[in-house]
Amino acid sequence: MIRLKSILLIVFASLSASAFSQTDSSLPAEVQRLDGYGNAVELWELYKDSAAVMDEATRLRAGISLYYYLNRPDEMLRCVDSLLTLYPETCTENEILSCNYVKMEKLLEKGSYKELNAWWKQFSRDENLCRKMGETIGFPYRTEVIEGLADVPDFRMEFPGSECTVPVSCTYPLVLSVNVDGTELSETIFDTGAPNTFLTIEAARKCGVRLLGDTVAVQSMFGVSQATTGLVKTLRVGDITFYNTVVHVSLLENDPIFSGHDAILGVKELRNVSTVEFELGTLRIKKAERKEMLNPNFSFSEGGQLFLLSPERNYLLDTGGQSSFSNTTDPASTKIMEVYGYPVHFQNTYTENPDSLRSALLGLPFFQGFETCVLDFERMRFSGENYHLRGSYSDYINSNNMLGLDTWIEWLDKTTDEMGRWLTHSYRGLLKNDYNATILYTDSLLNKYQQELGGSVFFVLNLRAAALAYMGFYKEAGELMKICLQAMPDMAGSYNKCIALEPFGGQQLDWKKEVVVLNATKGEKGFMIPARVAGGSYRICFAPDKAVSTISKAEAVKLNMNVIEFEDPLSRGGKTRMAIAPELILGDLVIRNAQFEISDEEGLVLGNSVLRLIPQFAILNNRIMLYQHPQQYEGAEELPLLLSNYVLCFRESEKSEKGYSIGAAVPYAEQITLQDVCKPDVKAVFDLERMKLILTSD
């Protein structure tokens, strides 16, 4: 996937302005100690508090470091010139080399090509100084680049309004459209982890980008790519046009860094704007009207990348990262840690290297956790609003967190690719009592993505088989389960169950009236209602707090039910017994082929394995109401309802992930009783068609 970094998750060694000389004064020594991007915030606080009492040379040295890391190139260049002009006697040879290095770097970064060329002509006359720079620090750019830009007009930005909105994809990676020298590159990745804009060689040829002939090593997760410097006359992003900007161009055909895309838009050009605001599907870029006071919590590194700074770690801000990563001594593969008070789910890389432990990466999920978040390049501050820790669809499915998946379904639909969306809705169909949806989406997955699914194809087949079994298509479900058995031997019991139930067919409802009202009495087991089984009257327990319907073997035989038995490796004794009632009559509702598990307990319990078939039922004090067609209750409180292995669960609101399971434990839900829901004079309506729990005084 797409990550363009100088070195991933490694603390960068300071390359510039790092050889300041020690004096007896504590302030010069403190300024020298704090030189480095990771200390930029601490150095800024020192500078604010103590600049007035610093000697001028120390103040200039602090300014060089601060403005280098905090996106103030003009101020940094003035400090460099003043230090070398006014206080040359205080500078060591290494400091002079460092100052010239960063001057060369910033002149090219800000696109001052004429000034860069003039400076280079003067600097290169000192052959001794040039030789020493090459031996000790090296040059940030080769002479081909500097000389190749000598006749190029300086970089400039044209921003016609005060704000520009750019559409971006909601899925990973963030894709937008840019225009390079009049050619549209609609498959461009926006990557804050990339210091420079980077084009494929194919895109550069199509756009006619001028190549300057040097060779640049670009490091990524795929290894080192060979690139060259290119000059783009016009780079258009939305309404903004950047003129005469320097980019990198890959020298590799079909470079894997780009994962099939045209280009990567880095952050170099965006240093010139005021803010970049992220919202799902949108980048909002604001023009720099006036210089704002620095209030930093992030800085640029020596490699040109953005790091969010904290006392514990420095976090690479990387929209090109598919996940967030941390270096840790914790052997756990994942971990949730707080970053500025926001819980972030990290993939862990084990290390004991103390420098590496100070670094981490905040990927695209961190940015998308906010309703909006902002990179302020004037104040050098990251901020965000309305943050939620969300997982990917696979996180929710693998952890069986159905409450989280149901809460964020709209967000997952927007941020997940097509295959992921179809997998999500295949799984969610079972939770929402919508087996047709599961059939539809698994059918689409198997037709279009069977090869891409790999081993997950068995998961899809299992979902499809479960939906077919819930609908009573036992033959078709059994055929799929037989295929799955080779990879999922624990399904043997489910397969045998389908084979055993096939002769009887599925459970069916026969409504004689659209509304059935049953008078109930409360017993030890719950609501007892009248029923007719095998021609006789019987009191049964109406139990939406029970997952499955149960009956004792003796009662099943007494009521002339069909008793079946099949092997089930996961059950006690290795076998499961069930009873099938040809007809179970509840007032004016006939349930045919009602299925019960054989239990050691006496009594007949009507649980959710049968009740899920009823479109809507309600409980009000001692009355049970069954509805063929769901009733509407305007103004009543509606809570999202789910069904997990026949256990009814609900969330406390549409926007809340907090949920409750009725009568049995479910992951991530608080278990409550049916009495907690069915309170006196409150009508509890279980709408299993729309999957809503409705609480009303009607």
Q: How far is CA 452 from CA 61, 417, 457, 481, 684, in A?
A: 56, 13, 9, 21, 44
pLDDT of residue 10: 31
Model confidence pLDDT, tens digit, residues 389-414? 999 999 999 999 999 999 999 999 99
Q: Per-residue confidence at 223, pLDDT binned at 50, 70, 90? A: low
Q: Encoding tokens for residue 515? A: 């509304």
Cβ neighbors of 54 (< 8 A, separation 6 or more) are: 27, 31, 62
In a domain, 495, yes or no: yes
- Is the per-residue pLDDT at 8 higher than 50? no
pLDDT of residue 516: 98
Cβ neighbors of 547 (< 8 A, separation 6 or more) are: 607, 608, 609, 645, 646, 647, 663, 664
Cα distance between residue 59 and residue 66, in whole Å: 10
Residues 693, 677: contact at Cβ < 8 Å?
A: yes
**Average pLDDT, stretch 436-463?**
97
pLDDT of residue 222: 61
In a domain, 559, yes or no: no
In a domain, 113, yes or no: yes
β-pair partners for 199: 249, 263
| Helix/strand/coil (H/E/C) assignment for every residue in 263-326 | EEECCCHHHHCCEEEEECCEEEEECCCCCCCCCCCEEECCCCCEEEECCCCEEEECCCCCCEEE
pLDDT of residue 334: 85
Q: Encoding tokens for residue 461? A: 């087949």
In a domain, 438, yes or no: yes
In a domain, 456, yes or no: yes
- Is the per-residue pLDDT at 290 higher than 80? no
In a domain, 419, yes or no: yes
Q: Per-residue confidence at 11, pLDDT binned at 50, 70, 90? A: very low
**Total structural domains in the chain?**
2
Q: Pick the last residue of a domain from 148, 182, 217.
A: 148
Q: Pick the last residue of a domain from 93, 115, 148.
A: 148
* 532 DSSP 8-state letter: E
- Is the per-residue pLDDT at 168 higher than 80? yes
Q: Where are the beta strands (DSSP E) in 434-574?
A: 508-511, 515-519, 521-523, 526-533, 536-542, 550-552, 562-567
pTM to 2 decimals?
0.86
In the chain, % of residues over pLDDT 90? 83
Length of the chain: 698
Q: Encoding tokens for residue 476? A: 């078709």
- Is the per-residue pLDDT at 219 higher than 90? no
**Average pLDDT, stretch 310-323?**
94
Model confidence pLDDT, tens digit, residues 582-609? 999 999 999 999 999 999 989 999 999 9
Q: Per-residue confidence at 141, pLDDT binned at 50, 70, 90? A: confident
Cα distance between residue 559 and residue 492, in whole Å: 30
* 535 DSSP 8-state letter: T
- Is the per-residue pLDDT at 5 higher than 80? no
pLDDT of residue 20: 37
How do strand 575-586 and strand 359-362 relate by DSSP bridges? Answer: unpaired
In a domain, 38, yes or no: yes
Side-chain-side CA neighbours of 103 within 13 Å: the count stands at 21
- Is the per-residue pLDDT at 502 higher than 60? yes
- Is the per-residue pLDDT at 436 higher than 90? yes
* Helical pair 474-484 and 457-470, crossing angle rounded to 10 deg: 160
- The per-type count for the chain, helices as H runs and strands as E runs, is 22, 39
Cβ neighbors of 190 (< 8 A, separation 6 or more) are: 168, 173, 174, 175, 176, 264, 265, 283, 319
Q: Pick the last residue of a domain from 96, 118, 148.
A: 148
In a domain, 448, yes or no: yes
What b-and-e string marks burial along 323-334, b requiring 16 or more CB atoms within 10 Å of the CB?
Answer: bbbbbbeeeeee
Average pLDDT score, the chain: 92
SS3 content of the chain, % helix, strand, coil (to 5): 35, 30, 35
- Cα Rg of the chain (Å, integer): 34
Residue-range definition of the domain harbouring residue 426: 393-501
**Higher-pLDDT residue of 86, 330:** 86
List the one residue out of 398, 454, 387 whose CA is nearest residue 424: 398
Residues 617, 692: contact at Cβ < 8 Å?
A: no
Q: How far is CA 113 from CA 109, 152, 233, 478, in A?
A: 9, 7, 13, 73
Cα distance between residue 314 and residue 309, in whole Å: 5
| Helix/strand/coil (H/E/C) assignment for every residue in 318-374 | CCCCCCEEEEECCCCCEEEEEECCEEEEEEEEECCCCCHHHEEEECHHHHHCEEEEE
Q: Per-residue confidence at 542, pLDDT binned at 50, 70, 90? A: very high
Q: What is the CATH number of the domain that holds 441?
A: 1.25.40.10
- Is the per-residue pLDDT at 417 higher than 60? yes
- Is the per-residue pLDDT at 7 higher than 60? no
pLDDT of residue 248: 96
Cα distance between residue 596 and residue 610, in whole Å: 9
